[in-house]
Amino acid sequence: FERRSELRLDAEARRRGGAAVSARAMAEEHGKTLRMRQERLSNLENQRSQLEAELDRLAAQNAMAEHRMEELRGKNRTLELQQQREKKDFEQEDKKLIAELRRLKQQQRML
């Protein structure tokens, strides 16, 4: 296997410029490129892991915010119903007071 690899590297060396680039230099360059790729892959895997953790954190935060929004919507509906009831009560009370005021004015005119 090693001999085939050297032959392949020799062929690559000749293709790149002949004898000036040795098989050893090609092997070193190949090793360097391989190490750089492995390092890049490792960095990308680390970034992916960090991004997945960030995504999980944000998803949990979003779920909490949505839950809180639902609670607030429920409270808002309750307050709106309470406000409608109070408005209706105040309007009824206002009508009663206006009627009472008219009755008193009518009574005052008769006196």
- pTM score, whole prediction: 0.53
Cα dihedral: 48, 49, 53, 59 (round 10): 40
The tokens describing 70, both together, are: 């639902």
CA distance 13 to 21: 5
The tokens describing 94, both together, are: 């206002």
Largest CA distance in the chain: 132
pLDDT single digits (tens) 24-69: 676 777 888 889 999 999 999 999 999 999 999 999 999 999 999 9
Measure CA 36 to chain center: 32
